[in-house]
Every structure is written in C-alpha cells, then in structure tokens.
Structure 1
Amino acid sequence: MNLLSVKKQRWKITGIGVALLLLMVFLSGCDQGKTVSRSDFLLDTFVSITLYGESDERLLDKPFERITALNSSLTAFETGSDLGLIKENAGIKPVTVSEDTYRIIEKSLAYSQNSGGYFDVTIGPLVDLWGIHSPETKEAPAPEAINVAKAKTDYTKIVLNPADQSVYLTETGMAVNLGAIAKGYIADEVMAVIKEEGVEHAIVNLGGNVLVMGGKADNSDFGVGVEDPRNPGNGYLGVLSLKDGSVVTSGDYQRYFTDAAGKRYHHILDPFTGYPADSGLIQVTVVTEASVDADSLSTTLFLLGLDEGLKKVEALSDVEAIFITNENKIVVTSGLKDAFVFDEENYGDTYTMTVR
C-alpha cells in the first residue's frame, strides 16, 4: 500500500488555542481487523493508544492508569509533589523521591552530561521566567532577570544519592524541569505495560510523541506524518515508515509569544544564552528505539543546529533524524533514506530535501 494514500487522522487541541500535535499516526484505510483505541486529554495534551489485533477494551485500563500516575508525579510542581519539594529544598537539603522521579532525573542528568549541557535538566529557572505556553502578546524578560535565572541553570549542581533515592540541588533558586523528556519516559513506561499484557501491535501517541510496536496486525509498517512547520496543523511534509520505534519532533512553532514590536519568542531555550534558541533550525524529528532518547535528543539537536546536530547523530548508534532549517531545507540522515517519503508534489516548491 502506498504510504501517501493512507488516511490521515488529524486531531486539534482547541482548549489551549493551538494545535500541539507535531506528529500524527496515519491509519490505513484498509481493514486492519480487530482494534481497540482510547483517547483522553492528559499531560496537558491529547493522548491516544491503539491496540491492533485486540478486541478487549479492558487492555487499555492499565496503560491509562500508568499515564495518570506518571502525570501526577513527573509533570506537576504543586506543593508536596516530588518536583515541588526538590525546588523548595534547593540549597537546603536532599529530598527523597519516588522511583519514577529518581529514574527520570537520573536519565536526564546523563543526557545533560552527554550533550555537554545543551540539554540541561536544571533549566527550570529559565523556563519559569520566560513562561512560554499558549500564543499570546507580552514582553520578553529583562536581560538582568535572564542572567540571574541562567546562573541558576547548571546540571553539575544536582546531586543524586541512590542509597536513599534522593535528589539535591545545591543552590537556592534552582529547579528541575522535565518538559523535554517526561513524555518520552512516560511513553516507554506505557508501552512496557502494554507488552506485559501480551499485546504485540500498538501505537502510543502522547501529544505527538509517537511510539509504535510490531507494525500493524497485517505486518505492514505504521506511517507517521512529519508536520509542515511553516503551516502546523494543516499539512505533512512526508511520511516515516516503521514497525518499531519512536518518533519525536521539536519545533519553534509549538509554544511561543510575540512582543509588541512583533518579535516572536519560542519555547526551546538555550541554557548557555538564556534566550530561545537561534540555531538556524525550525524543526527536528528524531527516530530512535526508545521514546525517552528521542525526546531528549530532539531538543538537543535543535539547540546544536544542523552541522553539529548531524555530527551528534553520526556519533550515536540507532539514531536517525530529519532537520528542517529556516531556509526551508530538509536534511534527512542516511538511515532514513528509504523510510521517509517526502511529499514532493505538494511541498517541492517550498522545501528542498537532501540525504546526508
């Protein structure tokens, strides 16, 4: 079946005024036999799970319970939450946290180290200062405030103690932020639950963080659409074909605000400058086995820019990427040469594609 002939399922999150889904799974128009599916608004986005070759909807209960539980522990800063307590006790004392919180912060610290600080799990002060969510009109923070928050962003000042499962930020005013990794971690955890239930074919879609397993019930590949960053929510530049793995995108159009002069500020912050990244990229899509890797790497590669991003991908095994520059150039790593089909008929006049 031609991947470009598959039926598109498009969802929009109207509650926050902007479509947040970067990637959507293309479901075949042909008969796939038995399937069960469920969707909900969780993790501040639209999430869905589809199981192929299954007819028992109760198989979806535990995966959604896992999402709900992780949503409470990994994405909240309320008083008494793990992340809230870590922030409140920064510079004061270590905080013993749940197993999931400890594991994801441990992974985040490793990514921070491996990226040379481009991915920084302690970027919380900058994220809080900029406060970039839904599109709106407001002014950027003062340079002095940015410098203060940047000084509080330093992953080398986080101390983990496996003996008591504690996390300690060594300076007051520091804060952990898991926004660039939480959905990837949760997707992997949810797929683990699905596998434990004996399911062999599934899609987990957490607001565009897509994780697939086993292909469709007829053994054909899933097709994952890569969105047009110049017109988000209204078109797909092409389709990625895969049976197993994760696809995650980071782009400058997801969350942003505009100042009175018309300058736009997106939400992907550079921990070295304290400002939204100006790397020459407008979107990066990463394909890996684990969603937690794809999630963290999509941010890292966006910050690194095209040339350094390509070097990073080349240095890693089982990682592929699609870079889109602000000059409308699509650069696809060689491992996706056959897996990514560019819609040249509709986008060839706007974008040019090369394989590296």
Structure 2
Amino acid sequence: MSLLDRHFPTMGSHGRLVLADRVAGPEPSPRLEHAAADAQALLVELERRWTRFDSASDLNALTDDARSELPAHEHVRALIRAGAWAGRLSGGLVDMTLGAQLAQAGYDRHWAGEPAPLSEALAAAPPRAAASPHPAARWQALGVDRRAGTIRRPPGVVLDSGGLGKGLAADLVAARLVGLRFIVDVGGDLALGHGGGGPHEVVVTHPLTDEIAHRFHLGGGGVATSGIHRRLWLDEHGAPAHHLLDPSTGRPAWTGLLAATAVGRSALEAEVLAKVALLRGPRGARRALAALGGVLVHEDGAVEVIPALQRAAQHAVRNLAAVA
C-alpha cells in the first residue's frame, strides 16, 4: 500500500494529511501526490477567503459592505451556510457573528504564543456557569440563495470563521478524496475516510498532562475537540481569557470543563457538537454528546467517556478484527 503523511501550517494552526491507496511501493503514488497538492491548494484558498485576520479577505469585505444581500464566491457561501446551520443545531450557542467580541477579548490575530498557565487561569476565573445564546440571535440573519449566488448577513457585523471554518475545510478536502483512505486534520478537526479498509485509531490527549486520555476507533466521519487550554491568555486587565465565548455576554465562557471531544457524521458536525458541549458545561455536555458520543475532561482532570462512544468503539474494534 502506498502511503503519504504530510504536515504543514494552515489556518493559523497545524494541518496534516494522511493518504493511502492500494498501489504497492514504499513511496507515495502519483495519485496521492496529486491529491495532497490539490488539498493543500484548497486550504490555502479557503484561509485566504475566510480569515478574520486579513483585511483583504472575502470575509472582512462582507463587514464593509452596506448591502444586506450580496454576491459571494461559492466557498464563502458554503461558510455562511455552515454558520446558519451551526446556529440552528446549537440553538445559537455556536454563533459566527461574534468576531468583534473575540477581538475585544484579545483574540485579534492568529495565535502564536504560549498559553497562560492553566492552573492560575482557573484559580482567577469567574464562577462557573453554562453559556447561553445571545438574545439578538444575529446568526438567524445568515442565509444563502444558491440560485442567485448570494449571501445574507447582518451588515456591519464582524463574522468569524473560527472552528467552523476548520471543520468545514476538512470536509471540503475530504470530498475530493473519495476512494482513498484518508485522515484530514485541520487544526485538530478531523475528517476520516476508511477507503475500504478498517477503522482509524483516534487518540484524545489530556489537556493537563498531554498524555493519552482515551483512544477509540472510527472508520469515517469527523472528530473535533474544543478546549480552553491551547489559546489561553491574560487580557488587558490581567484577567484570564480564551477564545470560546459565551454569546450572551461576549466574554470567555468558564463552564467547569477544560475540553470536549465530539464525534460527528462530518468534521463540521463534530466541531459544532464539541463547542456546544464545552459551552453547556458538564450536565449539558452529556446531553449534547449522547447520540454520537465523545469525551469530556473536567477541570479537576477527570475524564468522562460518553457511553455512545464506548458502544461505537466496541463495534469498530470488532469490525477491525474482522478486517485484520
């Protein structure tokens, strides 16, 4: 079997492509090389169009346009459609209209520094509470007219692609890899395809120790983790802050969870479910992940595996043994 494993920077984070086909040989086949080049070129284009950190991006051009409905490239339409869908699925907890609030919290450029000490941040953080949607529900104004090639959004509002963009990007790359066995990793959002082989092993890392907190097997779909530990800083007042906002306050959410990993039928769905779980806190997270499963890491370091994931993993292991 021919194998390609490539690492590269993308979307202000780390990207990885693992591709395999049935061509024999120690070196990646021409098909894999072409697929990888195509995937990386697509990710470069998506970042150029979707980033909040480049004044020339398509996304920022939407903020400066006074029209409520305007033409947009197909990849921008896909992002707006994903934002509207995420808002509906999450009841407004995943809200891509919070770009200005993210900048005010201190997340106004690609993350490039070391995170603030987690133990100190947790000690100084406000009382824990589940996040709530913003009553204005500006995400409800997001929409796409496919026939006209236009999008709708609240004029003047700063949109943020954030985790939604990473999950959607992984899925758009995965759509070009049909027939291959693949792992597409865009900033930790995974799109998986088995290519006729057995399931992939997925490892969840503990945010406090960097050791393996849990491992499971999954043949296809998506996996994503949402956590407060990677992008953690002190704001201008010396208060701890991170990039996962409570939409109702526009401030970082402190819910009692350090991280939530979710399984989805796509990387985008996994991203939305992981963020919902983190923002809802332990009790709400269990409900959010009940159908497809996931892993929660609490502030005291305890690891909780949602039962649906255990059942899925047991089923996948049996399938893997049958393939082997």
TM-score (norm 2): 0.79
1:213 correspondence with 2:217: no
Q: Match of 2:75? A: 100
Among 206, 226, 230, the alignment partner of 1:228 is 206
The alpha-carbon deviation at position 311 of structure 1 amounts to 2.0
| Aligned partners of 1:249 and 1:286 also within 8 Å | yes
Q: Quick check: 76-85 or 115-124, which moved more?
A: 76-85
Instruction: Tell me how far apart the structure 1 counterparts of residues 102 and 96 of structure 2 sit (CA, whole Å).
Output: 11
**What is the match of residue 146 of structure 1?**
none
1:76 is displaced (CA, Å) by: 4.7
Which residues in structure 2 correspond to 1:300-315 (within 5 Å)?
A: 300-314=276-290
| Match status 1:323 vs 2:296 | yes
CA distance in 2 between partners of 1:237 and 1:207 (Å) = 19
Q: Which residue of 2 aligns with 1:165?
A: 149
Deviation of the 1:66 alpha carbon = 1.7
RMSD of aligned alpha carbons: 2.7
Q: Structure 1 residues 262, 131: CA separation in 2 closer, same or farther (over 3 Å shift)?
A: closer
1:129-176 deviation digits (Å, cap 9, x = unpaired): 112333478xxxxxxxxxxxx89872234454444333344353x111
The structural deviation recorded for 1:259 is 5.1
Contact 2:52 2:159 (C-alpha < 8 Å) held by counterparts = no
Distance in 1 (CA, whole Å) between partners of 2:252 and 2:238 is: 15
1:179 aligns with 2:200: no
**C-alpha deviation, 1:248, in angstroms:** 0.6
Partner residue in 2 for 1:353: none
Shift, 1:92, TM fit: 4.4
> Does the C-alpha gap of structure 1 residues 93 and 324 become closer, same or farther in structure 2, counting only changes over 3 Å?
same
The 2-side partners of 1:128 and 1:95 are apart by 25
The CA deviation at 1:271 is 0.6
Q: 2:173 is aligned with what amino acid?
A: V
Name 1:156's counterpart in structure 2.
140
Structure 1 residue 312, shift from structure 2 partner: 2.7
1:118 CA displacement: 0.8
Decide whether aligned partners of structure 1 residues 68 and 282 sit closer, same or farther in structure 2, where only a CA change above 3 A counts. Answer: same
Query: Does the CA contact (< 8 Å) of 1:157 and 1:171 recur in 2?
Result: no
The correspondence for 1:122, drawn from 77, 80, 97, is 97
What CA distance in whole angstroms lies between the structure 1 residues aligned with 2:298 and 2:56?
42
Tell me the distance in 1 between the aligned counterparts of 2:144 and 2:2: 46
Match of 2:18 among 41, 47, 50: 50
| Residue 60 to residue 125, structure 1, CA distance change in 2 (3 Å) | same
Distance 1:170 1:211 in 2: 31
* In 2: Cα distance, 1:126 partner to 1:151 partner: 15
| Paired amino acid for 2:148 | D
- Among 307, 320, 323, the alignment partner of 1:334 is 307
Shift of 1:177: 0.8
The residue correspondences of 1:37-76 to structure 2 (distance < 5 A) are 37-53=5-21, 54=23, 55-56=28-29, 57-76=33-52
Q: Is the 8 A contact 2:82 2:164 kept in 1?
A: no
**1:175 & 1:271 partners in 2: Cα distance?**
14
Gaps of 5+ in 2: 117-133, 315-324
Residues 21-46 of structure 1: CA deviation (Å, up to 9, x unaligned): xxxxxxxxxxxx43122222121122
CA contact (8 A) 1:122 1:153 kept: no
How far has the Cα of 1:83 moved from its partner? 0.6
1:258 matched residue in structure 2: 234
Deviations 1:308-333 (A, max 9, x none): 2222333x5xx222112213332222
8 Å CA contact 2:262, 2:293 repeated in 1? yes
Q: Partner of 1:118: helix, strand, or coil?
A: coil
- TM-score for the superposition, normalised by structure 1: 0.72
1 or 2, which has the higher helix percentage?
A: 2
Alpha-carbon shift at residue 221 of structure 1 (Å): 3.0
Quick one: which of 109, 113, 117 aligns to 2:88? 113
1:215-242 C-alpha deviation (Å, 9 max, x unpaired):
7x8x4432121111113xx322121212
In the alignment, the residues of structure 1 paired with residue 16 and residue 262 of structure 2 have an alpha-carbon distance, to the nearest angstrom, of 20
Partners in 2 of 1:277 and 1:154 — Cα distance?
A: 19
Q: Is the 8 A contact 2:264 2:273 kept in 1?
A: no
> What is the DSSP-based 3-state SS (H/G/I as helix, E as strand, rest coil) of the residue aligned with 1:193?
coil
Distance 1:228 1:151, change over 3 A: same
Alignment match, 2:267: 291
Question: How far is 1:181 from its partner?
Answer: 0.5
